[in-house]
Amino acid sequence: MNKSKYDMKVYIFIVLFSFVLGHVYAQNDSTELRQPQSSVMVETMIGNDYSSYQVILSKQIGSADSRFSFYSMINYDMYYDETVSDNYFLQSIFFYNITGGISVGTGVNSKPFVGTKPLIALAYSKYTESIGLYIQPSYETYKDGLFEFFVLFSWVPYNEKLIQPYFKFEGYTSWGSEHSYTYHNWRLGLQYKIIRLGPAINLAYFGENYDSATNWGGFVNISF
User: Of the candidates 6, 16, 1, 15, which has an alpha carbon nearest to the alpha carbon of residue 173?
Assistant: 15
Q: Taking a C-beta distance cutoff of 8 angstroms, is the pair 102, 123 a contact?
A: yes
- Parallel, antiparallel, or unpaired for β 179-192 and 163-175? antiparallel
pLDDT tens per residue, range 156-213: 998 989 999 999 999 999 999 899 999 999 999 999 999 999 999 999 999 999 999 9
Q: CB within 8 A of 27, min separation 6: which ones?
A: none
In sequence order, which ranges of 68-171 are alpha helices (DSSP H)?
none
| Domain segments of the chain as ranges | 3-146+156-161
In sequence order, which ranges of the chain are alpha helices (DSSP H)?
3-28
Strand, helix or coil at 26?
helix
Distance from C-alpha of 74 to C-alpha of 56, rounded to nearest angstrom: 7
pLDDT tens per residue, range 90-118: 999 999 999 989 999 999 999 988 889 99
User: Is the pTM above the cut of 0.85?
Assistant: no
